[in-house]
Structure 1
Amino acid sequence: MDIGGSLPVLYLSLLLVLLSAAAFFIVRQAIQTRKIEGTLSRLEGKLAKEKGTAQEYYELGGIYLQKKLFSQAVKQFERALKAPTLETVESAPIYNALGFAYFAQEQYDIAIRQYKEALKIKPEYVTALNNLGHAYERKQLIPSAIETYEQVLNLEPQNGVAKRRLEALQKRLVPSS
């Protein structure tokens, strides 16, 4: 077999595989974006005309978070919390998302309050605990952050986020020799 003749075929095959993979991911992303935009359009249209459910406001707020439209997300999450259809148990993820929106705007004190509200409703809500720990870190409340990450690891010993952040904080506290 002639290696000189098969080398271009090998390169072309490899290029074809790479281009096919890239095309797959591009098409998948386009479909996902189109779906999100369709949901956004539908929800904005519906909620402009009539009152929605807590779930609809929460979903719209989540889309605004993805688009990094944080102040708009805050408005939707607040509407979700005021919706008459909201059950108390369902409000924990909304408070967590509201905290995340404030955190993204560097309003850490408000974010901390929202995460704590989520945890009042659902004390073992690991995502809210991780987010609370991160907000404490940003506020330089290191002992509170450490305690919060330890709570996460008590609930979920294999939680990678809490493990990494806790180790990093503990390294910062130990003076280097």
Structure 2
Amino acid sequence: MDFVLQSSYLLGLLTLLVVAAVLVARQVWRTRSTETRLNQLQRAVTEGTATPADYYELGSIYLRKKLYVQCINQLQKAIKNWDENDPEGLAKVYNALGYAYFSQEQYDLAIRQYREALKCQPQYVTAMNNLGHAYEKKKLTAPALEMYEQALQIAPDNPTAKQRANALRKRLAPAG
């Protein structure tokens, strides 16, 4: 009986170690891939061969690393050089820039960028949700609810818009 119990514990421990090793290896691989791509993009910027998409990707990497000043700088370069015939791509850049400002609690600047994203792509649900969230942070409940409701008209099953709109409706409902 002791042998069975010990074998079970040993098998459990071995399984746990294998799972942990796989998770660590995946994280190391992701980090190395990101760092390799970061170096490539930085080299392209230094050499003057970076495309607007490269600036956007570099800004996105900086955003994930929470390097907001560098992120904003790269995203602004992407916007400045973006092809006007690609409004969907430009909307993503403006949305990312808005998120960078939002992350620094610069809500007015974030709102401006989210609005620009929606000018480029009026059906951009992510930008609507982000704009609604920025309005909430500014205590602008009615415009926030309006944004979430607009998002729900386009994507009725959007979980973020559903949850936030319901919470705001409850807050705006008269007490009684």
SS in 2 for 1:148: helix
Quote the offset at 1:24 in angstroms. 0.6
TM-aligned CA distance change 1:6 to 1:72, over 3 Å: same
Q: 1:26 to 1:176 in 2, by over 3 A?
A: farther
Task: Report how far residue 88 of structure 1 moved.
Answer: 4.0
Decide whether the 8 Å contact of 1:77 with 1:98 is kept in 2.
yes
Query: Which position in structure 1 is the counterpart of 2:64?
Result: 66
Q: Does 1:36 align with 2:45?
A: no
CA distance in 2, matches of 1:92, 1:84: 10
Give, in angstroms, the shift of residue 121 of structure 1.
1.0
Equivalent in the alignment of 1:165: 164
* 2:128 aligned partner: 129
Would the aligned equivalents of 1:54 and 1:86 in 2 still touch at CA under 8 Å? no
The percent of aligned pairs where both chains have the same amino acid is 50
Matches within 5 A, 1:80-119: 80-83=78-81, 85=83, 87-89=85-87, 90-119=89-118
Q: Is the 8 A contact 2:82 2:90 kept in 1?
A: no
* Structure 1 contact 53–85 (Cα < 8 Å) conserved: no
Is the Cα contact below 8 Å between 1:52 and 1:83 reproduced in 2? no
Answering whether residue 51 of structure 2 is matched by residue 53 of structure 1, we say: yes
- The aligned residue for residue 19 of structure 1 is 17
- Report the CA distance between 1:5 and its aligned residue: 2.5
Let me know the Cα RMSD of the aligned residues.
Answer: 1.5
User: In the TM superposition, what is the alpha-carbon distance from 1:170 to its structure 2 partner?
Assistant: 2.3
Q: In structure 2, the residue corresponding to 1:135 is in which secondary structure?
A: helix
Shift of 1:166: 1.6
Secondary structure of the residue that 1:143 maps to in structure 2? helix
In the alignment, the residues of structure 2 paired with residue 54 and residue 92 of structure 1 have an alpha-carbon distance, to the nearest angstrom, of 13
Q: Which amino acid aligns with 2:66?
A: K
How far is the alpha carbon of 1:139 from its aligned partner? Answer: 0.5
Give the stretch that moved more between structures: 152-161 or 56-65: 152-161
Distance 2:116 2:51 in 1: 21
Structure 1's 86 and 29: CA in aligned 2 closer, same or farther, altered over 3 A? Answer: farther
SS of equivalent to 2:156: coil
Partner SS state of residue 44, structure 2: helix
Give TM-score, length-normalised by structure 1.
0.93
**Partner secondary structure for residue 123 of structure 1:** coil
Partner of 1:155: 154
Report the number of matched residues: 175
Aligned equivalents of 2:17, 2:168: Cα separation in 1: 43
Q: Residues 60 and 144 of structure 1: is their aligned pair in 2 closer, same or farther, counting only changes over 3 Å?
A: same
Structure 2: 5+ residue stretches without partners: none
Q: Secondary structure at the match of 1:101?
A: helix
